[in-house]
Every structure is written in structure tokens, then in C-alpha cells.
Amino acid sequence: MIIFFEDYTNYHLNKVDASNWSYVVAGHGFGNAEEQYYTDRLDNLFIDKDGLHIVAKKEEYMGRCYTSARISLKKLFKYGKVSFKIKLPKLKGTWPAIWLLSEDIKARHNWPECGEIDIMEFIGRVPGKIHTSLHCKTYNHLLNNHRTKVIDINDNEFHEFVYYWTKDGFSIDIDNVHYELFKKSAEDDYNSWPYDQNYFLIMNMAVGGYFPGAVDANFIQDEFIVKYLKIETIED
């Protein structure tokens, strides 16, 4: 059953549908020393015939040197097929991502115990590579032992992704090439596999921080474009 579909090319309004999405408006570094302030301005997120644009800009704003946008899907789901088509930024310091957090984090602020599913991350200083990862109490980037895979991508302007999340594990198709990712084992408990609960999806582009590193000295602005996003549930 399809529980959510956005074809941004059909939009006539500039902003995302408030019944589906919420904006994050903040700029505290998010635990990663990120340098941007997330806004809900059209300067940083808008929709046109090419899709949804998340735009990072160099500008003084609320004590930060850069602005960008981050939105969260209000719908929750457990297990699913997430399909999307994206165009990545080019400049060093950019860090676009499509990822999932457990609804449990909203009540208890318990990262990484709640679990994080990074469907797609890209950093501008390493072109031609996509990162896909899992974080939990036992395995996370703070311990430098998180489950992660780096996948080479071609130079296409847009890339098509299909991400599969089931009770048994995770896999991904990128530009019609299939990659097996992470499998649940009989030894996994909640601390090592908290991925059997409801999650919500996030799209954002950070600037700077521990992972992408220093921002390009000539950075003025760059953008992350999402042509469409589709989520279908998968039966337990």
C-alpha cells in the first residue's frame, strides 16, 4: 500500500504541503558541529518544475554564516520501500541527506538508542560516492563502529534510488544497480537492532561539520534537488 507520494514537478505552490511536512528552524550544530542555520524561508527551500530545492547559502543569519533547510515527514511507518530521484550538490562542505529517526526520539531524546537509518548521505569533498548507514546504541559513529557502506555512483545529473527496509534487513538500488546492505542476525537485540518500530523521514542539507569537513572557500550557494519521493509499506 502506498502511504505517501510527492511528485514535486506537479506543484504550483512554492512551499511544501504543511499537512505532510514540518520545518526544523534552528542552528545549534546538531551534535555534528554543523555551521548552517535551518530556516523555513523560500530562499532555502522552494518547489518549481524541476522539483524540491534545498538551497544552502553563505550569509550571516542568527549567529551563523550559512543557511539551509531541513524538513520532517509527519507520517510514520515501519518497514517500507522508499523511492526518490535526486540531484546532488557539488561544493565542498555540503552534506545532503535523506534519513529516518524513530518516533521514540521525540519523547525521550534518546539518540542513538532509538536508532537512525541513513538512507543516503553525500559529502561534497568526496564526489562520486554515496554513504548509507545505521546507528544504534551498540553501533554508532561516536564509537566509530557503525554499520555503513560506501557506494560509487556515476556522473549522471540525477540519480534514482530505491531503498528497502524489511524485518530482515536493508538493501538499496542506485541507478538500477542492486546492493545488499545490512542483515539482522539472531544475536541482535534492541541495542544493536532497534529498527523494528515506527520511524519518520527527514530531508536536509547541512553545511560543514565533522563529516563533510571544511566548507569551500569560494562557497556562495549550492542546492540539493528532489524530483520525487515515494514511500510504500512492506508487510511484516
Active site residues: 116, 121
Residue in the block written with cell 519518520? 200
CB atoms < 10 A from the CB of 103, how many? 13
Dihedral sign of CA atoms 140, 141, 146, 152 in order: positive
Residues in Cβ contact with 50 at an 8 Å cutoff, skipping those fewer than 6 apart: 9, 225, 227
Report how far residue 144's alpha carbon sits from residue 128's, in angstroms, rounded to the nearest whole number. Answer: 23
Q: Tell me how far apart the alpha carbons of residues 148 and 131 are, in angstroms, rounded to a whole number.
A: 7
Residues 37-53 as b or e (16 or more Cβ within 10 Å = b) = bbbbbeebbbbeeebbb
Distances in Å between the alpha carbon of 43 and those of 15, 38, 118?
11, 11, 26
* Cell (9 digits) for 157: 545529473
